[in-house]
Chain A
Amino acid sequence: MKLLDAAGLSVSFDGIEIFSGVDFSIGAGELVGLIGPNGAGKTTLLRTLSGLLAYNSDKVHFLGQPLSDINRKQLARDLAYLPQGNESHWPVTVDALVMLGRLPHSNPWRGPSTKDHEIVRQVLQACDVSQFAKRSVNTLSGGERARVMLARVLAVEPRLLLADEPVTGLDPGHQLDVMERFRQLSDLGMGIVIVIHDLTLAARYCHRLVLLSEHKVVAQGRPTEVLSSQNLARCFDIRAHIGSAEGRAFVVPIERC
């Protein structure tokens, strides 16, 4: 089933073109990696897909309806967006912050329900941050905070998750945990789009990769097809070793070319 479908997306800021003519779609149960060099417009594409940029919202269709026609409160339950930067403006406790992810589902006149508490407990565990539950977010390290923010966005329990660099800043163990979790969620039917710079993780876990560069989609498809020597040279200006060990693909950048 198609969750999100967008055709002919074009964005420019102050006359500077970010990208144009970009088509993008994702179905239920798909884990899509958005890759590309800095400044290629990955974040802008994600923001466009989430409806944050108003002027393309008629071209993005969620479950067949243009974003501009969907009630925002309704959309917030089905589509979750994790911005880059992991900012928390007040030093609230971790569990209180993660509970914010339940806002689209909760009744304004009641406190959080038993179900909300249960879901928060689950996502805290899934992101391995239960042990900090009562600590204030500003006492956490960058990687720990990134996991807390991920827990927050997972607490929404959306049908489509758009996450901007969810594994950046995480240690290798937690990177694997998070990617495994994404795979589990997509197996359960969630559509997930992540912006990711770690090409090895992208190759191993994503069903499909979209390579954004030169203001357009340069390549998309199965990770092994997208991560070709030619594409890496063309878009990232690197020569890389693409291989596999123990049956799993890896990409190691060697040098600038």
Chain B
Amino acid sequence: MTLRDLPGRWLTFNQTLLFTVLFCLVLLAFVGSLVVGPSTVGWKELLGILFGNEYGPTRMILLEIRLPRALLGLMIGITLGLSGAALQGFLRNPLAEPGLIGVSASASFGAVVMIYTGLSGLFALALPLGGILGALVAVFLVQLISGRNGGTLRLILAGIAVTSFASALTSVALNLSPDAFAALEIMFWLMGSLADRSFEHVWLSLPFMMIGWGLLLNLGRSLDALTLGEEAAYSLGFDLKRIRTLMVIGIALSVGAATAVSGTIGFVGLVVPHLLRKWVGHKPSTLLLASALGGACLTLIADIAVRIFSPGQELKLGVLTALIGVPFFLSLILQTQKNLP
């Protein structure tokens, strides 16, 4: 009997290694996110601020600007990776991404309404609150349209319908925007970014995300059972309607809150589960956690990259993930084609 066959273990040796590596990478990226930026923070300074009594402008920058940004990168990355893995597992389709069920587009629209009406100028949290409200409306609509059975096709169709409608409404807001400045603000916000966020954003979105993460992580066994198809999963005691409802709510809360504070950051939720799947033996439950860590890692690194490569007029994070994501995704598709007999 080798180590990997020991009973009572969730993970094989390789998977333990994978999780250790991912965890270390996330930690490195997080620290990197704290030290990289227009004003460099040295290691000694960092430790002094975090654990000692170093005061001054650097402390301000680190705690008020960098730390919330790094935390949001971490949280949003976890959200995107986790919800992407959950949705792909549920639909048993590696092409699914968290935005598919209409949550991202609706959250964006909710936030855009706040910019459009000027409420976001009155108090800063109007923007994320509008986003979260938009996401909740999306869940309600998707659940309503996709009906009472557990079917996956209707869920996808409902998601597409809600996404299209929310995007159309966002276009209306842009179209009717009273001045060019508001339109530009909306455009920039839609691109997705972590710049200039504060701890208020962290505290506002964290509870929603944590509830969402809990719901999604809890789906692991159900997603494993779905490997055998819907009927076999049902006969193993898993209720599809319940799984779908929990998943939709979990994604809406976490991705809705993420979109509400950062705008749309694409491709992370699509690419990360795809990349890590073979390392966890294609097992949907193990992929959930791996993908959460992978998502955090990728989002933090991408957010560091926009600071390094485009100082000044910073490239938006969502633009960068799309720029890197598309060719990367294409290469993945080409690779899978090569592996076919």
A interface with B by C-beta (< 8 Å):
47, 50, 52, 72-77, 79-83, 85, 87-93, 96-97, 100-101, 103-104, 108, 110-114, 116-117, 136, 149, 152, 156
What residues of chain B lie closer than 8 Å to A100, measured between beta carbons? 224-225, 227-228, 236
Complex partner residue of A117 from B7, B225, B228, B284, CB under 8 angstroms = B7
Chain A to chain B: the 9 pairs with minimum beta-carbon distance, closest first: A76-B237, A81-B235, A89-B92, A90-B282, A114-B7, A111-B10, A73-B237, A83-B231, A117-B7
Shortest CB distance A26–B (Å): 17
Partner of A89, one of B8, B221, B227, B235: B227
Contact with A along B197-228 (1 / 0, CB 8 A): 00000000000000000000000010011111
Also in contact, A103 and B225, with CB within 8 A (given A72-B237, A96-B281): yes
Residue B308 CB within 8 A of the other chain:
no
B154 within 8 A of A: no
Asked if A117 and B235 make an inter-chain contact with CB atoms under 8 angstroms apart, the answer reads no
Residues in B neighbouring A75, C-beta threshold 8 A: 237
Cα A70 to Cα B288 with chains together (Å): 31
* Shortest distance between the CB of B274 and any CB in chain A (Å): 12
For residue B235, which residues in chain A have a CB less than 8 angstroms away from its CB? 50, 52, 76, 79-81, 83
Q: List 17 A-B contacts (CB under 8 A).
A: A72-B234, A72-B237, A75-B237, A83-B229, A83-B231, A83-B235, A85-B229, A89-B92, A89-B228, A92-B227, A93-B281, A100-B228, A103-B238, A104-B237, A111-B8, A113-B7, A156-B236
Residues of B within 8 A of A92 (CB): 227, 281-283
Rounded to whole angstroms, the CA-CA distance of A61 and B269 in the bound complex is 45
CA distance A85 to B229 in the complex (A): 10
Q: Is A52 touching B234 in the complex (CB atoms < 8 A)?
A: yes
Q: Which of A73, A81, A108, A116 contacts B232 (CB 8 A)?
A: A81
Q: Is B5 an interface residue (CB 8 A)?
A: yes
On whether A88 and B7 interact (CB within 8 A), knowing A50-B235, A103-B237, the answer reads no
B8, A110: Cβ atoms closer than 8 Å = yes
With A93-B281, A103-B236 in contact, do A87 and B7 touch (Cβ < 8 Å)?
no
Give Cα A89–Cα B237 distance, bound, in whole angstroms: 18
CA separation between A108 and B221, bound complex, in Å? Answer: 7
Residue of B nearest to A74 (CB): B237
CA distance A103 to B238 in the complex (A): 10
